[in-house]
Structure 1
């Protein structure tokens, strides 16, 4: 049916330049789809619904001979899956000749995909594969072959040996990658309890990470299981129907913080009494401390409806003693440590 003539050097250059039409030297031939297999460790059929290379029907899959009339797909796995879904029994393929070794084949597959942004699951697959071949080289260094930056490599590295259920949660956006770094240390039961308890609540990355870290610290300090703490602290709040998702997350976050830092609850009550005593008009003036008294900072919110009211309220604020202001702004001894 014809030939495509291009060196592997040209192929790598074309892949890096963003040209998805580049192909290695090889014959274009109709092959039986039953004789084609996905590359071991470099493709997951769940990617079919998670990523699209946009090339289906445009460029034939690129394959390499395995043995006899069997072939391994180097590039075009999702296209092959689409052909099978369509009920096709054969399709044109570009055959690499001669076939590279297993390592070169894997690197070639990654380079062929560098013109697009790989899906999260693909990045994990690529890094797992590279981890097996990297010998003594840092993973962040060899990750460049897959177009994965050193920073993202470090962020995803904890997932390489994690359960598929946790990877699924990260791919689906239910667990933030930075939080997964904490969860990979937990056993399966604790991971499942955490993911189930926060399902549908969509906490921010920082909030989710803090909840996970504090649960781990509490479990160690109290010699309790993480799943037991989740059942005791998180589940009752998450089940309250009168609260919306942000309200539930806020209450869960606060409940775990208070449990993790027991001095905070008492400190907050002392500050509340000091603010109540100093406030000359609680209906119009509100004192807002820095969250958890982490910094010496106080926000004063004043609501006025008329010039005269403003003059009176600010006169009342000016009458608050310096000692009272000090207690509100710098409540010494009210820290959380």
Structure 2
């Protein structure tokens, strides 16, 4: 019996594969945002004067840090940074599990439709309207996850089943149930990667523009190198701790999502045609969710993540700035020698 319990606990433990998934999504998001940002700045520069473009660049960077800046008016910047990073990490770990409550809401909604036919008609109309978006998500998931195709299609007639009151069938719901657990860790990684990429684009493009304005065409490379060094030295001291920890938090969420998604296939969840079967399958999902959230491993990892983020916030507030000042003073000296 204890062996079974240990195996159940161990299944939530992350592996290198889970961390690699987080790293891959984060890097792809950052690269995509960087390319998008550079292209956007180039297009704006093509059709606008440099001054408005500079204002857009500065406002982009300000927006990326606005929440921390606003909060730091009321509490220490260190605590502001720590709070927002902890919220992101907690959402990746615990929020991924809590997001499974969406099944309860959806099944409750399906349950009332036979009693309220007019509501059911409007719901079906709405669901059919957004079905192209769902098909797009299915195609993307099918390309990204080879296991997704294992769900298959039953092509069963919905007439006489609970699915006749929906704008989708049980196959679509099962696909949705497979995809939905990945939502939170994906969003956490995409948002953080996007911010990183946009900020890097800001520093790169702003450096190029500054170098161009000060030294002409020859100054573009100098401006880019200068700003890129500034960007990385502003992030590395605390980011070397903060970024991996966020990736680990997302990996925890991904591990849970992987289990939930594959339970849809392995346990043949949501294959029934009546509301009671759907409720039973949802209960299984919730039991797994409860087991994950309350497991000693999850709580221990969350505690380690939050403590480490506190250390990173301290470094960012009280150490990083000093390192930046020293490094940039040295760099300014080299630039002066180069231009003299």
| Structure with more of its chain in helix, by fraction | 2
| Structure with more of its chain in strand, by fraction | 1
Bigger Cα Rg: 1
Structure 1 and Structure 2 fold alike (TM over 0.5): no
Question: TM-score scaled by structure 2?
Answer: 0.19
Question: TM-score scaled by structure 1?
Answer: 0.20
Q: Which has the higher contact order (CA 8 A, sep 6+)?
A: 2
